Amino acid sequence: MEEKLKDCDCEGDNFSSNNDQDDHIRNSISCMTWNLFIGADLSPLFSATVLEEIPRRVTEVYRQFLATNFPERVKKIAQQIALLKPDLIGLQEAARWQLRQLMVPDLPHVTFDYARMLLDELQKNGLLYDVAALNNNISVQLRSSQGNFVRLLDRDMILIRKESGLTVVKKQEANFKTNLITKLGGQSFEKLRGWSAIDVSFNGRIFRVITTRLEAFSPLVNLRQGNELLDGPANTTLPIIMLGDFNVNNEIAKPPTTYGNFLHAGFQDVWTEAGLGQGLTCCHDPDLLNAFSTLSRRIDCILFKNGWKPITAKIIGSEQQDRTQTALWTSDHAGVIAYLEA
């Protein structure tokens, strides 16, 4: 990409009063990554040793999901996005929860679709986004102790702003071949994860955007999933932006880490190039009610390769004023936004 990407209509919060930097921002691509938080700690489900324990655990988990109140959180998330108007957004844990009473078919399902709810809130804030790519991950339906069925679908997705001037020319959506195998009620359960990618055209140039969330509870699985990305959608000469919750600390260590492998493959980290401070993104308490920030790790990153020049980067959703009216943090993760010039 020898020519710069121009006229990108990147409005919103300028991170600096420097006129030269403002000009760069106006002539750049803006992108964001944010893990929306599935809404509950799922570990009680996976610590159940027999199937008979599952209904009580399902009720416990679903009650926590209701308490973390995504309908309230999504309003604040949309407001944060509306301030910055990113051209591209990589979302992780964009879940869909359903409460289903299958024994009484006339009763409607109660559905909380994170993607639909966020798009609606963004529209209320004057922004129109499309879902450019989406991968379905874990999908499970379990009976609660109250006689309901609770269904959870975990998803990652890429949103594109309609007025950005960007056009999707190709999309890819896939699950990893290597996933963590754990126990659910004493039976084997695959914690399916995946990735989405789009090839984007702008001013006659094409670049690739990837979003993913790698395994958090097994360094070996995390490493293998990272290698699948490097051998798959990231194996291209196109300019790449990778937006993700990589669930690995931003360090190079022995034995190799996923982050180190990405850097070895030529990726650069926007935050180390253009961010200020530590850039911590994880994690708040699962009930989202910790009084002060408990963000202590930087595992949500924007990586780039093949021709991009980072301009600036910022953490979002991490300040006290970003919390909801009932003092909930918007997510257990902070988000990251960056401007890159080609």
- Predicted confidence (pLDDT) per residue in 220-246, tens digit: 999 999 999 999 999 999 999 999 999
Indicate if the pLDDT at residue 200 is higher than 50.
yes
Buried b (16+ CB within 10 A) or exposed e, 114-147: bbebbbebbeeeebebebbbbbebbeeebbbeee
- Choose between 7 and 198: higher pLDDT: 198
- Choose between 329 and 27: higher pLDDT: 329
Indicate if the pLDDT at residue 7 is higher than 50.
no
pLDDT digits (tens, 9 = 90+) for 33-70: 999 999 999 999 998 888 999 999 999 999 999 999 99
- Choose between 5 and 251: higher pLDDT: 251
Q: Is residue 3 part of a domain?
A: no
pLDDT at 248: 87
Q: Are 182 and 189 in contact (CB under 8 A)?
A: yes
In the chain, pLDDT over 90 holds for what percent of residues? 81
Indicate if the pLDDT at residue 105 is higher than 80.
no
Buried b (16+ CB within 10 A) or exposed e, 323-337: bbeeebbbbbbbbbb
pLDDT at 168: 97
Domain count within the chain: 1
Indicate if the pLDDT at residue 2 is higher than 70.
no
pTM reported for the whole predicted model: 0.90
| CATH value at residue 153 | 3.60.10.10
Q: Is residue 327 part of a domain?
A: yes
Indicate if the pLDDT at residue 77 is higher than 50.
yes
pLDDT at 21: 53
Q: Is residue 9 part of a domain?
A: no
106: left (phi over 0), alpha (psi -120 to 50) or beta: alpha
Q: Is residue 11 part of a domain?
A: no
Query: What band does 15 get if pLDDT is binned at 50, 70 and 90?
Result: very low
Query: If you average pLDDT over residues 255-263, what whole number do you get?
Result: 90
CA distances from 337 to 81, 133, 289 (A): 9, 19, 24
Query: What band does 323 get if pLDDT is binned at 50, 70 and 90?
Result: very high
pLDDT digits (tens, 9 = 90+) for 269-319: 999 999 999 999 999 999 999 999 999 999 999 999 999 999 999 999 999
Q: Is residue 4 part of a domain?
A: no
Indicate if the pLDDT at residue 252 is higher than 80.
no
Indicate if the pLDDT at residue 4 is higher than 90.
no
Q: Is residue 6 part of a domain?
A: no
Amino acid found at 25: I
Query: What band does 28 get if pLDDT is binned at 50, 70 and 90?
Result: confident
Indicate if the pLDDT at residue 10 is higher than 90.
no
Give the separation between CA 300 and CA 338, rounded to whole angstroms: 12
The mean pLDDT of the chain is 91
Q: Is residue 322 part of a domain?
A: yes
Amino acid found at 35: N
* Least confident span in 12-26, 135-149, 198-212: 12-26
Amino acid found at 335: G
Helix (H) or strand (E) holding 235: none
Give residue 91's domain range.
19-341
Q: Is residue 12 part of a domain?
A: no
